[in-house]
Structures are given as C-alpha cells and as structure tokens.
Structure 1
C-alpha cells in the first residue's frame, strides 16, 4: 500500500499544536478550542493524578491556563 504525505501549513498562533492535532485526526484546522476543553476537563476530572507536581502548577490554575487561547499549548498529558 502506498501513501502520500502532504504538508499543511498551520498558523503559528499559540494554538498551532492543537490545530495540527485536530487536522491530523479530523481534517479540521480549527479544533483548538475543542481540544483545549477536552484537556481541561480531563485534568479537572482527576486532581490527584493531575496534581501540581505533575502539571507544574495547581490543577485549577492549569485548567484556566490551558483554556486561554493566548497561551502556548504545553500539553504534558
């Protein structure tokens, strides 16, 4: 089976990681808000697992931070 690799440009807008993942899984370059919500909900759902030691900041603070479209997506999950 042969495959084709196509390079796609994703705007460098602090959400490029999320938009690149969104495009890879769903061919949608505008998935950042949805993916940020998924990460925040996952982190908030288990504050023991996703503790300050794991996240580098308190759970609630991380959730607020990851939802901010002006912040770069340092996803450590």
Structure 2
C-alpha cells in the first residue's frame, strides 16, 4: 500500500495539499487594521479581586443558609 503508514489511504502530499486548500477556504482574509494586543494583566490585582469575590460569595451563602434555617424553624 502506498499510504506510507497514514490512515485513509491518502498519500502524504495529497493530504497536505487538501489540508492547505481547506485552511484557505475556512480562514477569511483579515479586513482593516489589526487591533493592538490587549494590555498586560496585573495578576496581583486579579487575584485580590478573585479572593474578594470568593469571600463575598461565602458570606452571602452563610447568610442565606442562616435565613433558610430560621424559616425552617418557623414552619415547624
């Protein structure tokens, strides 16, 4: 078999040409100027915000749990 170990029985060169043709068809040409890259991320600030959000969520969850337990006591 002339497939050179590839699956599908497609010789290496034909498969590469088909992939290149598909890539050209799928990738639209960029239009207009290319935007600048995003600014660098300050991971210290990011982590502070993440910790604050997690703490807020924990406090909210604790308050909701206490409220639910109080309502259950009233119903019984």
Structure 1 length-normalised TM: 0.29
Please identify the structure whose Cα radius of gyration is greater: 2
Asked which structure has the greater RCO (Cα within 8 Å, sep 6+), the reply is: 1
Higher percent of residues as helix = 2
Structure 2 length-normalised TM: 0.29
